[in-house]
Amino acid sequence: MATRIFAGKALISIFLLNPNVIDQTIGWRVAFWLGAGLGVGVLLIRRFVPESPRWLITHGRSEEAEETIGNIEGEVRRETGRDLPEVEEGPITIEQRRSIGFGIILRAMFQMYPKRTVLGLTLMASQAFLYNAIFFTYALVLTGFYEIPASAVPYYLIPFAFGNILGPLLLGRLFDTVGRVPMIAGCYFVCGVLMTLTGYLFYIDVLNAATQTAMWCIVFFFASAAASAGYLTVSEIFPMEIRAMAIALFYSIATAIGGISGPVLFGRIIGTGNEGELFIAYLVGASFMIFAAVIELVLGIRAEGESLENVATPLTAIEEATGTSAASGSA
């Protein structure tokens, strides 16, 4: 979704940043407010997104959960002409509760699943550094090192954006067939290696604006798949009651670690006009991606083909032998 929005904004910016079309004191403001408008649109759309059956039943809304499941099964039956296969796993008993406190969430993340927390933070922080460092400063590279007019920059961002879209589209299914661990580690590693190569070619001055953009398209073909997998990893390796909160928490921490430091570091270096220092910055970003690949190989969870309950037992699941739940310690 983010890459498609980026592509759309790049197309619109061709007109908004063209002084022959609109006054530049107005154009950038319009572009800025379009982003705010998209945010408002998301808030409105959220009101029409159905709740997960798992969330509904955990929060005591069993009838709504049954209705949602029935609607899903009916839609599958209409589209495929057959029923969903029978569930192989046995049923679990859960303790319904209205809310899950932050104490339980932190306990699950840092006491019950500390290795998964390290994995999630590493994957998301490394890709946040890479994405924000390159995306937010590439216009500066084009104008500062390749002397591309500001009004022409969007033409270079469009293929950049579409390279991002193609990554998840073409590689996404392999995360279920080949497997999470080899695909995530492979995408992060390949991205790091290609970024190193791109930085070196930039340093020895064999690239121009077009070939630099082409190299970034290839790099981010793998990086976009890696980043998408990083988000999905966090959403599926923690108990179902805290998955949304885990994504929000990890995203905010990862953005603070990598999303802020990346643009600041790259922006200052680009301002100096020193190719050697920028190459070193590219190596830093590449090393983060390769490090994340190693962490995935060591701590990665093989979640392909597994139900969410098998990947991480729900916090509200009641152990039949003791009558207690992981969340509360009592039935």
Segment 27-56 shows an average pLDDT of: 79
- Lowest mean pLDDT across 9-13, 101-105, 120-124, 299-303: 9-13
Q: Give me the DSSP letters along 82-96.
A: SPPPPP-SPP--B--
Percentage of the chain exceeding pLDDT 70? 85
Assigned domain for 40 exists: no
More confident residue, 285 or 303: 285
pLDDT above 90 (res 292): yes
Selected residue with higher pLDDT from 183 and 14: 183
Residue 286, pLDDT > 90, answer yes
What confidence score (pLDDT) does residue 296 get? Answer: 94
- The answer to whether residue 79 is domain-embedded is no
Per-residue pLDDT, 7: 55
The residue that leads in pLDDT, 2 or 265, is 265
- Tell me, yes or no, whether 29 lies in a domain: no
Q: Is residue 68 part of a domain?
A: no
% of the chain surpassing 90 pLDDT:
20
Contact 313, 326 (CB under 8 A): yes
Inside any domain, residue 302: yes
What is the pLDDT averaged over residues 101-113? 79
Contacts with 205 (C-beta within 8 Å, 6 or more apart), sequence order: 275
Whether 26 is in a domain gets the answer no
307: left (phi over 0), alpha (psi -120 to 50) or beta: beta
pLDDT at 6 over 60: no
Contacts of residue 97, defined as CB under 8 A and 6 or more positions apart, other chains included, come to 58, 59, 60, 316, 327, 328
Cα(74)–Cα(157) distance, integer angstroms: 42
- Of 126, 217, 118, which is closest to residue 167 (Cα–Cα)? 217
Would the pLDDT of 290 be above 90?
A: yes
Please provide the average confidence, as pLDDT, over all residues in the chain.
81
pTM for the model = 0.79
pLDDT at 199: 93
Does the pLDDT value for residue 281 go beyond 70? Answer: yes
- The pLDDT of residue 328 is above 70: no
Instruction: Give residue-wise pLDDT tens across range 200-247.
Output: 999 999 999 999 999 999 998 998 888 888 888 888 888 877 777 888
Q: Which of 303, 292, 186 is nearest to 233 (CA)?
A: 303
For residue 14, being part of any structural domain is answered with: no
Least confident of 4-13, 75-84, 237-246, 257-266: 4-13
Alpha-helical segments (H) within the chain: 2-16, 24-46, 53-58, 62-80, 102-107, 114-135, 138-144, 153-171, 174-177, 180-203, 209-236, 243-254, 261-272, 275-299, 308-311
Residue 330's pLDDT is what?
39
Residue with more model confidence, 216 or 305:
216
Residues 165-207: tens digit of each pLDDT = 888 889 888 888 888 899 999 999 999 999 999 999 999 999 9
Examine residue 235 and state whether it is found in any structural domain, yes or no: yes
Give me the sign of the Cα torsion angle 156, 162, 168, 174: negative
**pLDDT tens digits for range 258-273:** 778 888 888 888 888 8
Residue 139: domain span: 103-311
Note whether 315 and 325 are within 8 A (CB). yes
How many structural domains does the chain have?
1
* Residue 313 confidence class, pLDDT cut points 50, 70, 90: confident
Mean pLDDT, residues 130-156 taken together: 84
The per-residue pLDDT for 331 is: 35
Residue 183 pLDDT: 92
- The type of residue at 43 is L
Q: Which residues contact 141 (CB under 8 A, 6 or more apart)?
A: 212, 270, 278
Q: For residues 38 and 190, which has the higher predicted lDDT (pLDDT)?
A: 190
**CATH number of the domain that residue 167 is part of:** 1.20.1250.20
Residue 325: band (very low, low, confident or very high) from pLDDT cuts 50, 70, 90 = low
What lies within 8 Å, CB to CB, of 20 at 6+ separation is 151
Cβ neighbours of 107 (radius 10 Å):
16
pLDDT value, residue 14: 63
Element (H, E) at 325: strand 324-325
Q: 260 or 24: which carries more pLDDT confidence? A: 260
329 pLDDT above the threshold of 70: no
Q: What is the DSSP letter of 238?
A: S
Nearest to 316 by CA among 143, 20, 105: 105
